[in-house]
Homo-oligomer: A and B are copies of this chain.
C-alpha cells in the first residue's frame, strides 16, 4: 500500500502550496486541483501473477489503507482494443483504443466515482454530491445506490433525458439548476460545506484524479509494461488528462518506465479554452459553449494550470475538433470497430485525424486514444447515415431491395 508523502496545490499564478495531508490540502484548495505524491518504488506496483480486480489492482498507487475494498461495483480493467480495421481506416498502423465505455455506466467517470465512494464507505458518509453535465451525475447516482449512500446531484436544465432517467431510477435527488453548469458546480460545493456531504467534484476531491490515473496504469500493463508514444485524450475540465500524465510520471518514479508518452489533448471547437490558453498563454474569459459534446464543454476548467503543465512537460499539444468531425468519428468507430461512443467520447479519435493533419502526430507512432463515454445513453444524438427499409416478408421483395435475383 502506498503512503502519501506530499499533498500540494498548483495555483493559477504558478506557485505551489504544500500541505500536511490530502485532507488539509482539499480543505484549502477551493477550486484548485490537489496533487498527491507517494513513497514511490517497485513495491507500489501490482504483482503480475495477482488476479486482476479491475482498478483496485493499482491500490498500491491509490490513497487507501490495506483494508478490503468495500465498493460493490466492478470498475476498470477495460479493453485496449487492437482493431486492424480501424488502423487501416485511420492510416495509423499502431493505433489502439482504450474502451472506457465498458464501465458500469459507460464512462470513465465510473473510476472516480468508485474511489470517492470507497472513501465514503470507509468513513460512514451518508450523502454524496456533485455537479455534472450528465456522465458524472449518472455515474455517481448509480454508484451511490449500490452503496446505500444518498446522492444529491446538480445538473444544468439542459441535461439529456436518458442520463436524467438513470439518475432518477437510482433514486438520486436531482436538481436542475436554472443558471447552468457553472452555477450548479458552485451550488454543489456550497451545499457540501453547508451540510457536511461528501463532495465528488473534480478539483475539490483529489480522489478523482487519483482514480482516473488507473486508466494510464492499465494501458502500460496491457502493452506488456511498455509506454506508448502518444496518448490522445478528450479534455473538458482536465483531470482525465492529468490522471493519465500522473500515471506515467509515477511509473517512471517507481522505476517501471524510463519515459512518458506525449499527450495530445482534444477539445471541441465550440469550447476550447485550454487550447487557446496553450496557444496564447492566456486562459480566455468563460463564454457560452456551442458543441454537441456536453461531456467536454467546460468553459471555465478547474485544472487549467495542471493540464497546461502536463501537456507541456510531455512535449504534447492541443487540437480541437468540430461537431461534424465528432459525429464522423462516432460512425467510423462503430462501422470499423463496433465501438459505440458519444460525441465527447469520440473526440479523442476525431483528434487523431486533426493531429496528423497538423503534423503533431506521425502515422507510425504507437498511439493510444481514450474513448471516454458510451453512445448508448444518448441514442438520439448519434445520427446514423443509413436508414432502415420496411419490407413485406417475401424473398422476392427482399431480392428487389437488395438488387439481386430472387
Contacts and interface: CB of A to CB of B under 8 A. Distances in A.
Interface stretch (A167-175, A234-242, A285-293, A301-309): A167-175
A322 interface: no
Given A72-B83, A388-B176, A162 B379 contact: yes
Contacts of A145: 334-338
A15 interface: no
Interface string A130-152: 00000000000011111010000
Interface size on A, as a range, is 35 or more
17 contacts: A104-B338, A105-B376, A142-B334, A145-B334, A145-B336, A145-B338, A166-B379, A169-B331, A169-B340, A171-B334, A173-B402, A174-B388, A178-B393, A179-B393, A183-B393, A187-B393, A376-B377
A386 interface: yes
A199 to B, nearest CB: 14
A21 B142 CA distance: 47
A74 interface: yes
A317 to B, nearest CB: 30
Q: Is the interface of A mostly helix, strand, loop or mixed?
A: mixed
Given A379-B166, A388-B175, A74 B79 contact: yes
A396 B393 CA distance: 62
A393 B131 CA distance: 12
A105 B340 contact: yes
Interface string A100-127: 0010111000000000000000000000
Contacts of A386: 168, 171, 173-174
Contacts of A380: 161-162, 165
A398 B187 contact: yes
A356 interface: no
Nearest to A166: B340
A337 B184 contact: no
A392 interface: yes
Contacts of A168: 384-388
A357 interface: no
